[in-house]
Each structure stands twice: as C-alpha cells, then as structure tokens.
Amino acid sequence: MSIVEPIHVNEFPKPEEIFRLKDNYIEGEPLKLILQDEEHLTETLWWPSKNNDENYILFVITGNPGVIDYYVEFLNTIHDELGKKIDIVGVSMLGHSYGPHNLSLKNLYSLQDQIDHKIQFIDKLKSRFTSQGGEKQPKFIICGHSIGAYIGTQVLKARPNHGIEMIYALYPTLQHIVKTPNGIMMNFLFNERARSLAASFVSNLRYFIPPTFFKFLVSSLTWQKESMLNITLSALLHGHVVENTLYMANDEMETVCELDEEFYREHLNKFTFYFSDGDKWAPLEHYEDMKKRFPEGKVLLCERNTPHAFVLSHGEVVGKIVAGWIVSKMTIDN
C-alpha cells in the first residue's frame, strides 16, 4: 500500500480532527504525520482505532535503517487482526528517511539521540491519550525491532510509570552486537571514512545515472518486492540518510555490549523476546543465552525461520503472531 503525502501538525490530532486534516480519509488506513516536537520534525504513521475502550497504544520502534514505511504491511496486519480496536503509532528514526521532515544535511544522530527522541515521543503520546481529567490512562505496548528493542528497554528505564505494560522485542539486538556474525562482517563499513565514501557513492549514483537504471541496479542487488523497493529508492538511498544510518550503526557497535541482566530480570513479566534461527544480528547463541538466563521468561524462537529484516518479506506472517500476543494479553486483562 502506498503512503500519501504527510500532514504537518504541531500536536497529535484527536479523532474528531482526522477528517478536518484529511477530508478523504479512509477508515483503517494509516495517517502519515510530520509531527513537531521539542526539537525535531518526526515522521509518524498512526493507525487510529475504531473503538479503543481499553486505551491500548501499540508504539512501534523501528530497527536500523529506521524507515517506518517499511512496517506498513506488518502494522496493517496487526490492526486488521485486532479489528482496528487499538491505536498503532510508529515513528522513523531521526535522519533515516528523506523528506520534508529531514531538511538538515548536517545533523548526525547517535543512538542516545534516538533513545531521547523516543522518550520525548512517548511523553507526547501519554499526554495525547490520557483522558481529560486523567481518569483513563493509556496502556502502552512497545514493539521494538532489532535495535528498536534495545531503545524500547531504555524508554522503560526512563519512564517506568508511564503505563508501559509490555515490550515485544523482535529479533532483538540487546548485547554485544559487534561480536555477532553481521557485526564482525560489516563493522568496517561504520567508521567515519567508510560512511563518508558510502554517502558520496550513493549521491553520485543518484546524480549521474538515470532513475530507471538506478532502480534496476538497486532491484538487482536487493531483490526487494516492488513496494519495498520504492521505499528504499525514495526514502533511504540518499547520501546523508545513508550516512546517518551508518553513523548510528557505529554507535550501536560501541554502546550495546553487556546485557543488563538485572533490569530484564526485574521486569521480565513485561518482555517477550522473539528470535529466529538464521538471524545474523540477533543470532541463535543470543536466544540460547537468554533462555539460560531467564528460563521462566517468554523467550521464543520463530518456527518459520523468518529473516531479521522481516518487514521486507514476512510482515504479514509476523504481524499475525504479534496480533495473537496482543489478543491474549487483552483477554487476560479482561
């Protein structure tokens, strides 16, 4: 599904404002917002609920590259499977997608910058979804993919009283990323010189070769289906965006080392960890380590061997799995 032109807003809109902002809005489709917060313009996708009596909010934190448009099929599936009864909100990483929200060609965002941004964003969500008078507080489920699972953990640390009830850590990079198979193989790409060369190379390709050939070249290298290929071309493959993704990746290698076992043990009932056998970023060894550390925890291994970048090819499959977890939680709560 294609994403239409974004709507610029200063505050997260209320349900009754949706048709004023977009008069041809079709119920069930995501709204793309460019949301102004304290310091940034945030690319946001919001699936409004039809009847969110329990005030559940699924807050989605992407992996790296952090382009929220890649997650549309995945999140459409969740929304449909749940009968559109919860609100789903996902945001791109700062600097990771090209567009009117990313006008500066100077800013490079660290992992900590991304963490701080997600903390500020959940503050905004809490304010928006708390009922007038404060009687009804939002119940947050954070769904973090890859490094997004690590960021979600940091959000819980910073906001333990925000009503964060669950964190679904999908293909989670929570420890020693630099020692994983892909970390070992790709770490050389993340240093300053390599980042600069990669950014220049992408910029020169876009400038010097025709768009049709550029698309053919990227398609031949990635084998992405048409919808994902179009997102890669329009949002990701721009020089400064590529540099930002690699800059953050370098910071991940240096920052994400020892597992914070004490914190996870203290909040184990809030976490579901979901690994896949063939994953080279969150490898089988990490799954086995988590099972050993937390035998009583929800540490799961995908039975279908879905890839780390599941949103590109298995969004519907994983979406149905996550929707099942949410249904189970809502059933138990009621």
Query: CB–CB of 56/139 below 8 Å?
Result: yes
Q: Strand (E) positions, the chain?
A: 7-9, 31-36, 41-47, 56-61, 87-91, 139-145, 164-170, 271-275, 298-301
Between strands 31-36 and 41-47, the pairing is: antiparallel
Domain that holds residue 115: 7-178+256-333
Mean pLDDT of the residues in the chain: 93
Number of independent structural domains in the chain: 1
Summarize the confidence of residues 32-51 as an average pLDDT.
89
% of the chain at pLDDT higher than 90: 82
Residue 166 counted as domain residue:
yes
Residue 278 counted as domain residue:
yes
pLDDT tier, 37 (very low <50, low <70, confident <90, very high otherwise): confident
Cα(203)–Cα(180) distance, integer angstroms = 30
Residue in 158, 127, 139 with CA at minimum distance from that of residue 10: 127
Coil/strand/helix, residue 28: coil
Give the pLDDT confidence of 198-220 residue by residue, as tens digits: 999 999 999 999 999 999 999 99
Residue 232 counted as domain residue:
no
Residue 222 counted as domain residue:
no
Structure-model confidence comparison of residues 214 and 26, the more confident one = 214
Model pLDDT, residue 3: 53
Residue 2 counted as domain residue:
no
Give the pLDDT confidence of 112-146 residue by residue, as tens digits: 999 999 999 999 999 999 876 667 899 999 999 99
Cα(242)–Cα(236) distance, integer angstroms = 7
Give the pLDDT confidence of 286-299 residue by residue, as tens digits: 999 999 999 999 99
Query: CB–CB of 32/5 below 8 Å?
Result: yes
Task: Tally DSSP H helices, then E strands, for the chain.
Answer: 12, 9
Residue 206 counted as domain residue:
no
pLDDT tier, 1 (very low <50, low <70, confident <90, very high otherwise): very low
Cα(153)–Cα(114) distance, integer angstroms = 13
pTM > 0.85: yes
Residue in 307, 187, 314 with CA at minimum distance from that of residue 254: 187
pLDDT tier, 2 (very low <50, low <70, confident <90, very high otherwise): very low
Residue 189 counted as domain residue:
no
Task: Give the CATH number of the domain where residue 86 resides.
Answer: 3.40.50.1820
Residue 306 counted as domain residue:
yes
Model pLDDT, residue 4: 62
